[in-house]
Structure 1
Amino acid sequence: MRKTEALEKLTDRDKKHLWHPLTQHKVSPDMLGIARAEGALIFDEDGKDYVDGIASWYTCMYGHCNPYILKKVSEQMQRLDQVVFSGFTHEPAVKLSEELIKILPENQEKLFFSDNGSTATEVGIKMALQYHHNQGEKRNVLLAFEEGFHGDTFGAMSVSGLSVYNGPFADFFIEVERIPVPTETNIHQILTFLERRLEHNNIAGFIYEPLVQGAAAMKMHDVDGLDKILGLLKEHGILLIADEVMTGFGKTGKYFASDYLDTQPDIMCLSKALTAGLVPMGLTTCTQEVYMAFYSDDVAKGLFHGHTYTANPLACAAALAALELLQTEEIQTGIQNTIQWHQKFDEEIKHHPKVASTRQLGVIYALDLNIKMERYGNLRNQLFKHFMDQGVFLRPLGETIYILAPFITTKEQMERIYGAIKSALELV
């Protein structure tokens, strides 16, 4: 490193070459330099610590640099780092399949690896479309919820309903129709619409974030209503694709949000907390029935989708360690503690005159301010700065403030988050 580079701050060096996600650099030019992380804390290059109130986009649920996960990945790194997964297999991938199947919904049988959440949903979409194609049935439409978000690759964008992310590309999408999320007041109307719509018999699959729509500002919907929708669609041979990239691995209080439902998905999409935030990996799981639609003497009926780092042994080792931790008494106690802390905080805050509504499921907590603001507007940015000044990393989604902290967050750290939110209410 040149001497001048060593003296410059990361924030300044960053501006020379880097282009950041979800960023308009002309209005938000400065990136905070993060030097290290440990547990529920991240530390900037000046040594200031911040409670990671969103587990770095819901990934580091067992804490940053978890020593057990680091140990397991380090051991794997010295045996096998990377190998092509087409034509080869290895112990970490096989072991992960065996262990994950034990906690997945009981109808899940097969695992297909990819690189991240977007590719996991991309694979799920392709499975649904090709499933019907392989059986000689033309079903070219996908069904999705309004305001859903499923990733940034083209298939994933197609089924996502947030134009702030996808607007420039809409003319290039696959065909998707949307329905509102179910509530007690609209479920009858949704079912009536679907019964008429299903007469056309051209819907291949329904992709949905079960119970919580993350990017839609942690919007939560009705369990019974979703079950009724899933049951009706399954009766008509429509594949159910549960996008549990955000909700999976304990965040809702159960291993998967699908565990709250009677009707189980045909396909599941997993990532984020899968590898505890250490390395990227995605997984798409499916039933034996879905798999058998691709099992043929005809090579063309195979699922011809692949990534260079498919089932990377290091990522599999991280996922195995994370899965082991998830099932420990310590982590399950942490989840239950967080739920109780959220519920107590909710009782304190929900009647505040600046709070329009609150909601909570598992370790996910969200409140809406009674003022409308742009998702990336000035007021939202002022809130973000306030939280960082308080030593708390939260990313408001417009007027929605949400918490999704690591399972190992202490009560004192969580109180720091709550305190920052309470003081923010005096700013708006």
Structure 2
Amino acid sequence: MPMLFPNLRVHQVFGANTDVGKTLLTTALIRSAASRGTRVSYLKPVSTGPEADSDEAFVRRHTAPYADLVHTRCLYQYREPMSPHLAAQLAPDLPFPASNDVLVRGVQDYIRSATPEGHVFVETAGGVHSPALHPPHTQASSLRALRLPAVLVASPHLGGISTTLASYESLLLRGYDVAAVLCLHDSYYRNDDFLRPYFEERGIGFWDIARPPDRRGSVAEDAVRLGEWYAHVEGEGRQEDGGGGVGPAVRHLEDTHARRVEEIRGMPRRTLDSVWWPFTQHGLVNREEQVMVIDSAHGDHFDAYYAKPAGEADSQPKEEAARESLLEPYFDGAASWFTQSHGHASEPLTLAAAAAAGRYGHVLFPSGTHAPALELAEKLRDTVGDGWAARVFYSDNGSTGIEVALKMALRASGRRYGWEGEIGGDVGVIGLRGGYHGDTIGAMDATPASTFNTAVDWYKGRGHWFSPPAVLVQDGVATVSTTAPDAWAPVPGANPTTDGWAMSFPSLADVYDLQTRRTSPLATYYRQHVRETLERLAAEGRQFGALVLEPTCLGAGGMVFVDPLFQACLVDVVRASADLFAGQPDGEAYNAALAGLGERDPSEWQGVPVIYDEVFSGLHRFGYHSAASVLGTTPDISVYAKILTGGLLPLSATLASQSVFAAFLSNRKVDALLHGHSYTANPIGCAVALKALGMIGDAERDGTWAAPRQDWGAARWSFWRKAFLDEVSCARPVKGAMAMGTVLAIELQDSEADYASHVAQGFLDRLRGQQLGDPAFRVHSRPLGNVVYVMTSLFTPPETVRAMEAAIVRELK
């Protein structure tokens, strides 16, 4: 719900406390703007106290000389002069918004109805943190979605410096721009002597305004004196006892608005001239209208600006252009590259970051500790690492977390199988075709050649990658099917396809029922296929030191949902195949090890260490904390990032079992895990991660996701409705679709079905052209070749998801 118009200057007036002259000075600002022939609108969203004494009545009364230019309104007026949420409770006969969002929508509608040029002043009630109509939110929080530039009225009273600075910092922490600070002059306390240099040092205009006359005599006499005061302060002049007028402040607001509009309009060209984007072909993205300027973000949305193509901008009527906000809300359908989970600018996460920044900044971590890092390590061990993990290693992001995991696994295998410390060795990993683990050299080498790495001169794929059977809903039917290039033999009960075979299931719940499927003929077939492949590779002299999996779903590789039974069987076979990794093929030993997997000690790795890359999928992205609950088996090493901090900061954690940790224990430093990052265990990131995990835990306990769980009626569930997924899967342009947790993936029909395909981009461009929902928003996402994906956060309102479902169905039809 962002609001930025070319020639309409909208500002929100906050007070540092009650009784600081907020309405008095707002009226002065209105008169000053109107005195130059400018139209001005005034809105009081919520007011308490008798209507005759209301702020709106005061403004209307004292702007009477400019009545033809000034419009005033109050949305909700309550009789009792007390906190808004209490005053509303005592007036059940008066209108009451169903939520704070409804109130915000009323503010937005009023602003949109205002004249396309001039000023709008929205005056809040009480102080910055006066309660909103629906606790526990305050005004600063509930109005944040609009992010209107703020005018802060400072307190001139004793203690006013403290309340003013606290109010300013509260606004700053919540993402507001403070455009100006006004303070009534007080020659005794002289708060302006401190506040002026404080704010001017921060580039914020500060104005000390002459005090109004004291009340004395009759009401009529007071009104005459106040009118004379207004006539003076709406201009420039200063009074003998100190303070001046608001005229310079009004011009400052106009100038800062003009600079903001100019800056936003100029950012696309400046960006094209100076930035090198990741994963972007600049030969294709080189026009200003292709650049999304994100002015801010809040909840699930970007507040973004797109330049109009030259022809379209020139042809638009001037009046129509003036009434259009430059900023529009765009749903962050790519979850900001899979990181976003708690909503942008989440207040609890922001406050956690601020508290840790104020306490620690960043501190050195080796051989030391601090509370956020220690508590987060214990939290991860007790949740995603429950029953198997002993240690937590911190790094900067998912890719570096995988580098750490590979070093752990390969060293542990090398010490067990005898290639310890071999420089230039040719040890590889076992993985899945289509997997993606990051863009550092080691992480790239752990994946097969693809669009992501074939143009990297140092790339050397080190391993073998199975082509995993994939899960899709096709024409309303849950299907598991194979893909080339693995040579898949016919499977009893499956239908042959050009790439192997396909098998139908009564429901997705049946696909993910591994307790039943583990004893099926398909499980036997999977294990045989994996074992025979590994035997062939061992006979060729290939050596492997780790199994690296993206459990459940290959994210960047095309949002491929892998048959969980195949991944579980792959883990089983690798763990039972120590004979192959030791270079001594022994079928009897393999069969015995396979039979004994049910009794294995989860803290002891077998075969080679198993790495779960849960950077994308873990921590409830797919409706579960860890993929161990899906695959029925725990890893030896796992990696978490992205959602780990709720999408606020880069941080990665690599968890390892005791047996992996023990491989690095000795009396020689050279045997240690010699890997680290300058910002290892950054206290701010760790504190935010603790808060983010706590919010997930609270949602689980409070039943926040009870409705979507009930809709699916199964352990595997999604925020996207089951009926919607079935409908999408039957659409003519769709090859298949899948949804789990926050993620929706739609594979479109295309002969060029890989990352180079442009069909999904075209679909997303058309989807972005639709305005949907109330309040209206658009959808922004990024394609993966012929795959369209859209992700919610963990806290996206159901009505937002329903609006996107309807738009997707419309576009597919």
Aligned counterpart, 2:681: 311
Q: Deviations over 1:146-198 (max 9, x none)?
A: 11101000011111235111002365426222112146757242332124435
For the pair shown, the structure with the greater C-alpha radius of gyration is: 2
Quote the Cα distance in structure 1 between the aligned partners of 2:617 and 2:279: 21
Quote the Cα distance in structure 2 between the aligned partners of 1:73 and 1:220: 34
The alpha carbon displacement at 1:113 in A equals 0.7
**Does 1:96 pair with 2:466?**
no
Q: Is the 8 A contact 2:463 2:544 kept in 1?
A: no
The alpha carbon displacement at 1:358 in A equals 1.4
- Flag structure 2 segments of 5+ consecutive residues without an equivalent: 1-202, 204-255, 306-325, 420-425, 471-479, 481-490, 492-524, 579-606, 709-716, 771-777
Quote the Cα distance in structure 2 between the aligned partners of 1:132 and 1:347: 45
Structural mapping, 1:18-417, within 5 Å: 18-29=275-286, 30-45=290-305, 46-105=326-385, 106-135=387-416, 137-138=418-419, 140-161=427-448, 163-169=450-456, 172-173=459-460, 175-182=462-469, 185=491, 187=526, 188-198=528-538, 202-235=543-576, 236=578, 237-329=607-699, 333-334=704-705, 337=708, 339=718, 341-373=720-752, 375-390=755-770, 391-417=778-804
Q: Is the 8 A contact 1:107 1:287 kept in 2?
A: yes
Q: Aligned residues, how many?
A: 426
Quote the Cα distance in structure 2 between the aligned partners of 1:279 and 1:393: 21
Q: Deviations over 1:60-111 (max 9, x none)?
A: 2111111111111111111001011123221100010111111114201111
Q: Classify the secondary structure of the residue corresponding to 2:359.
A: coil
Decide whether aligned partners of structure 1 residues 350 and 377 sit closer, same or farther in structure 2, where only a CA change above 3 A counts. closer
Q: Is the 8 A contact 2:758 2:785 kept in 1?
A: no
Q: Is the 8 A contact 1:148 1:162 kept in 2?
A: no
Quote the Cα distance in structure 1 between the aligned partners of 2:532 and 2:437: 26
Equivalent residue letter for 2:273: K
Decide whether aligned partners of structure 1 residues 136 and 203 sit closer, same or farther in structure 2, where only a CA change above 3 A counts. closer
Quote the Cα distance in structure 1 between the aligned partners of 2:383 and 2:726: 33
Equivalent residue letter for 1:281: L
Deviates more, 1:54-63 or 1:328-337: 328-337
Q: Is the 8 A contact 1:93 1:313 kept in 2?
A: yes
The alpha carbon displacement at 1:222 in A equals 1.7
Q: Is the 8 A contact 2:447 2:461 kept in 1?
A: no
Decide whether aligned partners of structure 1 residues 351 and 15 sit closer, same or farther in structure 2, where only a CA change above 3 A counts. same
Q: Deviations over 1:27-60 (max 9, x none)?
A: 1123210011111111114220011123212212
Quote the Cα distance in structure 2 between the aligned partners of 1:80 and 1:94: 14
Q: Classify the secondary structure of the residue corresponding to 2:721.
A: helix
Q: Is the 8 A contact 2:449 2:461 kept in 1?
A: no
Decide whether aligned partners of structure 1 residues 380 and 340 sit closer, same or farther in structure 2, where only a CA change above 3 A counts. closer
Quote the Cα distance in structure 1 between the aligned partners of 2:370 and 2:350: 20
Equivalent residue letter for 1:333: T
Quote the Cα distance in structure 2 between the aligned partners of 1:61 and 1:368: 23
Q: Is the 8 A contact 2:612 2:637 kept in 1?
A: yes
The alpha carbon displacement at 1:258 in A equals 2.5
Deviates more, 1:182-191 or 1:390-399: 182-191
Decide whether aligned partners of structure 1 residues 283 and 221 sit closer, same or farther in structure 2, where only a CA change above 3 A counts. same
Quote the Cα distance in structure 2 between the aligned partners of 1:182 and 1:352: 23
Deviates more, 1:225-234 or 1:205-214: 225-234
Quote the Cα distance in structure 2 between the aligned partners of 1:201 and 1:322: 43
Quote the Cα distance in structure 1 between the aligned partners of 2:558 and 2:721: 17
- Flag structure 1 segments of 5+ consecutive residues without an equivalent: none
Q: Classify the secondary structure of the residue corresponding to 1:84.
A: coil
Aligned counterpart, 1:17: 274
Aligned counterpart, 2:154: none
Q: Is the 8 A contact 2:748 2:759 kept in 1?
A: no
Equivalent residue letter for 1:266: D
Q: Is the 8 A contact 1:155 1:173 kept in 2?
A: no
Comparing both chains, which one has the higher relative contact order based on Cα–Cα distances under 8 Å and sequence gaps of 6 or more?
Answer: 1
Decide whether aligned partners of structure 1 residues 73 and 335 sit closer, same or farther in structure 2, where only a CA change above 3 A counts. farther
Q: Which among 807, 810, 813 is matched to residue 420 of structure 1?
A: 807
Q: Classify the secondary structure of the residue corresponding to 2:468.
A: coil
Query: TM-score, normalization: structure 2?
Result: 0.50
Q: Is the 8 A contact 1:392 1:416 kept in 2?
A: no
Q: Is the 8 A contact 1:76 1:317 kept in 2?
A: yes
Q: Classify the secondary structure of the residue corresponding to 2:624.
A: coil
Quote the Cα distance in structure 2 between the aligned partners of 1:7 and 1:355: 38
Quote the Cα distance in structure 2 between the aligned partners of 1:130 and 1:182: 31
Deviates more, 1:189-198 or 1:247-256: 189-198
State the identity as a percent: 29
Q: Deviations over 1:251-281 (max 9, x none)?
A: 2221012221222111101111011111111
Q: Could you say what the CA RMSD is over the residues aligned between the two structures, in angstroms?
A: 2.4
Q: Classify the secondary structure of the residue corresponding to 1:163.
A: coil
Decide whether aligned partners of structure 1 residues 409 and 335 sit closer, same or farther in structure 2, where only a CA change above 3 A counts. farther
Decide whether aligned partners of structure 1 residues 180 and 376 sit closer, same or farther in structure 2, where only a CA change above 3 A counts. closer
The alpha carbon displacement at 1:332 in A equals 5.7
Decide whether aligned partners of structure 1 residues 76 and 225 sit closer, same or farther in structure 2, where only a CA change above 3 A counts. same
Quote the Cα distance in structure 1 between the aligned partners of 2:675 and 2:719: 43
Quote the Cα distance in structure 2 between the aligned partners of 1:152 and 1:258: 26
Decide whether aligned partners of structure 1 residues 335 and 202 sit closer, same or farther in structure 2, where only a CA change above 3 A counts. farther
The alpha carbon displacement at 1:218 in A equals 1.2
Equivalent residue letter for 1:288: Q
Q: Is the 8 A contact 2:760 2:787 kept in 1?
A: no
Equivalent residue letter for 1:375: Y
Deviates more, 1:14-23 or 1:252-261: 252-261
